[in-house]
Amino acid sequence: MSCSGSTYLSTQTAARSLAKIRARPSGPARQLALALALSSLPAVLAAAPESGDPPEVQLGPVTVTATKTSRPLDEVAESVSVIDRAEIEAEQPQTLGRLLENLPNVEIGGGPRGIGQSVTIRGLSDDRILFLLDGARQNLTRAHNARLFVEPDLLRQVEVIRGPASALWGSGAIGGVIALETVDASDLLAPGQNLGARTRAGYQGVNDQWMAGAAVYGRVTDQLDLLVDLTYRDAGDTRLGDGQDLENSAYERTSGLAKGTWSVDGANWFSASYLGFSEDGEVPSNAQTAATPENLVDRTTRQDNLNFRYWHDDPDNPYFAPSLLLYRNEIRIDEDRKRDGRNDDTELTTVGLDLRNTMRFGLGNHLDQILSYGLEYYEDAADAERDGLPRSSSPDGSQEIISAYLQDEILIGERLTLVPGIRFDDYSSKVDNGSAETNEESAWSGKIGANLRVTDWLSLQASYNEAFRAPSLSELFVSGVHFTCGPGCQNLFVPNPDLEPEKARNKEVGLRLGQQDLLMAGDHAAFRAAFFRNDVRDFIDQEVIFTFRPVPGNPGPGGVTTQENVTDARLEGFEIEALYDAPRWFAGLAYSQTRGDNETTGEPLASVQPDEWITRLGLRFPAQGLELGSRGRFIAAQDRVPEGIEPSQSYNLFDIWLTWRPAERLAGLNLDLGIDNLLDEDYTPFLSVLQGPGRNIKATLRYSF
């Protein structure tokens, strides 16, 4: 198991994955499935070419997010981590944050409540990271709130790009991209199987959480497969490291996925999916804080995602491979305040499309160039009410963005690959309060990446990536009362529709070492290092001006609060990862460090997480289908903080797990056991008000038939 989150499984498991791919069509659908299979290999495995000839060897995990095409992870210039299905199952996560916190330079804040967790990548926090779910943008930005809501057990793969990526993905990708893909029928069908089902049940002791799920899936014909999957969780309050319960952290959750893929003629493919999420709980209005009688609300969170895909695959025409993604995402948050019954409704609806074509140029079987170009459009519509009336602190409005992008992957000779790209985004935002306030801007984003294979085991990378983030509706148009300060004293929000977009420019260099069969056949050793500097301009910060005299925007005492482009920042750091994976054991080590400074004030940035070591060590018993693993996370103290921010203490966390995948008579039975925070450490993560969860003994039993 690598430190980056990729799991290297047995050759037998890989062979089963490849058998499923061979049963499917070639082209984009097959490349995506192949990417998933390759992400689980411990060795060099085969990827069948378009012609159906014998497979060609490639190494290690594959990314489909960094370049929007399937490429081996070791060939892209960006820093990318891939978490595959096997690791998701072994981890048994209740939340997405539990998966992501094991990656270098990726940290989770906000406390144990999943609805309040936030992600930081290389010192840039949640609202500066782009989230994708099956390729569809997830654009919710609400203070003290998670960005998206998803059941981890429905995921087959998670990809994380660390660093700016707007040249391909547009607004929001200043800190990076987190792309989640859900399972489909082909991921669950065994070789030669056309109809299957699976059941699962689990328990986690840290919050007395029970999980149950079931799925039915099948390949109705060679050109039609279907899947329906449901998951239910019921959890109590989370026990913290000091032995106390985090009051009002219980929840009840139901999630479902329905997906189908159909081909008309083997060349034209259609896919449709629905992903639903519903969670109920009595929690603080700010889920990142402790509960009090004054802040408790009955909260229902509902997310509905509808996706439709079309792609064309004709092996005889490498210049015409269009694909189209249409999606509609809706998030609704309903809160009834316990002390007085006040009702807040918040809703964000995103509709969008991504249309692109891929052209492949080459001589014979040698591919020299992949040209990708496309158009993207999406619209966010926000609606918020308080007791049935408009809520000025969360303004109603809409934002539209239309974009065009171009990327060229060029192989020069046999060892050098260049990947230039450019994107143009035009956006407009408006508020629905009868005023004429709007915000209209455009932005160009460029990139250039290079990968040089010096030898068969050494490669060098260099990249330059630009990114931007358009200001959100609440940053542009928020109004109303921020807080009260006594009789007749109020601090008021003042809108700022003239905000500029935030901009980032990231420079990165790295090297990767990889050697197959180092000590014996089937072994794999790898080393990765990346060094980066990200310059961010026009950071949007909230400015609170408190005064008892009248000021513009407030004729009475209390002052004003507004959003301003006030900060320029520089973030520098590096990540180092090393792993050794053998048929009977594995080991890994990672270290990550980021330093960030506010270049306007000269102070350290408040959002930069502390340095961290991650270690992994485990044993495999292939004949018995057993894997026993351990992980250590060693988080340093963070005392490099600006004035007014509380430093954090160092702490260490240890986890162990055991997976059992028996063969022959018990094939289809999977058992996952684990203990998180083995030593029951009492700790508080940096920038979190709440302590972390205590020891968690967990188990999940799955059976597929």
Burial of 454 (0-12, 13-18, 19+ CB in 10 A): exposed
Say if CB 359 and CB 321 are below 8 A apart: yes
Examine the pLDDT at 435 and tell me if it is beyond 90.
Answer: no
> pLDDT over 90 for what percent of the chain?
71
What is the Cα 154 distance to its own chain's centre?
A: 14
The number of CA neighbours under 13 Å toward the Cβ of 476 is 28
Q: pTM for the full model?
A: 0.89
For the 11-704 domain, the top CATH level (class) is: mainly beta
Instruction: Assign 288 to helix, strand or coil.
Output: coil
Examine the pLDDT at 52 and tell me if it is beyond 50.
Answer: no
Examine the pLDDT at 39 and tell me if it is beyond 60.
Answer: no
Examine the pLDDT at 21 and tell me if it is beyond 80.
Answer: no
Which pLDDT score, from 0 to 100, does residue 302 have? 96
Which pLDDT score, from 0 to 100, does residue 366 have? 60
Examine the pLDDT at 10 and tell me if it is beyond 80.
Answer: no
Report the first-to-last Cα separation within the chain, whole angstroms: 27
Which pLDDT score, from 0 to 100, does residue 73 have? 85
Q: CB neighbours of 22 closer than 8 A, spacing ≥ 6? A: 48
Least confident of 257-266, 335-344, 414-423, 541-550: 541-550
The model's pLDDT over 278-336, given as tens digits with 9 standing for 90+, comes to 999 999 999 999 999 999 999 999 999 999 999 998 888 889 999 999 999 999 999 99
Which pLDDT score, from 0 to 100, does residue 677 have? 97
* H or E stretch at 99: helix 96-100
Which pLDDT score, from 0 to 100, does residue 522 have? 86
Burial of 647 (0-12, 13-18, 19+ CB in 10 A): exposed
Q: Are strands 209-221 and 195-204 parallel, antiparallel or unpaired?
A: antiparallel
> pLDDT over 70 for what percent of the chain?
91
Contacts of the segment 608-612: beta carbons below 8 A, 24+ positions apart: 608/123, 608/571, 608/638, 608/640, 609/105, 609/107, 609/120, 609/123, 609/638, 609/686, 609/687, 610/635, 610/636, 610/637, 610/638, 610/648, 610/650, 610/686, 611/635, 611/636, 612/104, 612/107, 612/636
Residue 534 token pair: 């990200």
Tracing tokens 């840290």 back to the chain, one arrives at 206
Examine the pLDDT at 22 and tell me if it is beyond 80.
Answer: no
**Arithmetic mean of pLDDT, 331-346:** 95
Which pLDDT score, from 0 to 100, does residue 25 have? 37
Q: Are strands 560-581 and 490-493 parallel, antiparallel or unpaired?
A: parallel
Distances (CA, A) of 206 to 149, 286, 461: 21, 22, 43
Most confidently predicted of 48-62, 67-81, 320-334: 320-334
pLDDT band at 533 (very low <50, low <70, confident <90, very high): very high
Determine the Cα–Cα distance for residues 271 and 323; give it in Å rounded to an integer.
Answer: 11
Which pLDDT score, from 0 to 100, does residue 392 have? 81
Tracing tokens 């491979």 back to the chain, one arrives at 321
Of 70, 82, 92, 107, residue with least CA distance to 1: 82
Determine the Cα–Cα distance for residues 398 and 419; give it in Å rounded to an integer.
Answer: 34
Determine the Cα–Cα distance for residues 45 and 392; give it in Å rounded to an integer.
Answer: 57
Examine the pLDDT at 15 and tell me if it is beyond 50.
Answer: no
Choose between 55 and 634: higher pLDDT. Answer: 634
How many other β-carbons are positioned within 10 Å of the β-carbon of residue 509?
Answer: 16
Q: Are strands 612-621 and 626-635 parallel, antiparallel or unpaired?
A: antiparallel
Examine the pLDDT at 386 and tell me if it is beyond 70.
Answer: yes
Examine the pLDDT at 379 and tell me if it is beyond 50.
Answer: yes
Residue 240 token pair: 């913290």
Tracing tokens 């995103």 back to the chain, one arrives at 350
Examine the pLDDT at 18 and tell me if it is beyond 60.
Answer: no
Say if CB 154 and CB 257 are below 8 A apart: yes
Choose between 603 and 517: higher pLDDT. Answer: 603
**Arithmetic mean of pLDDT, 97-105:** 94
Which amino acid does the sequence have at 387? D
Which pLDDT score, from 0 to 100, does residue 413 have? 83
DSSP secondary structure letters along 629-642: EEEEEEEPPB----
Q: CB neighbours of 459 closer than 8 A, spacing ≥ 6? A: 74, 75, 451, 452, 453, 511, 512
Residue 193 token pair: 């199987």
Which pLDDT score, from 0 to 100, does residue 485 have? 87
Which pLDDT score, from 0 to 100, does residue 222 have? 85
Least confident of 19-23, 386-390, 489-493: 19-23
Which amino acid does the sequence have at 232? Y
The model's pLDDT over 656-686, given as tens digits with 9 standing for 90+, comes to 999 999 988 888 999 999 999 999 999 999 9
**Arithmetic mean of pLDDT, 170-196:** 93
Examine the pLDDT at 8 and tell me if it is beyond 80.
Answer: no
Which pLDDT score, from 0 to 100, does residue 182 have? 96
Say if CB 441 and CB 480 are below 8 A apart: no
Which pLDDT score, from 0 to 100, does residue 74 have? 84
Least confident of 100-114, 161-175, 426-440, 559-573: 426-440
Residue 317 token pair: 């025409």
Which pLDDT score, from 0 to 100, does residue 60 have? 58
User: Average pLDDT over the chain, rounded to whole?
Assistant: 88
**Arithmetic mean of pLDDT, 251-267:** 95
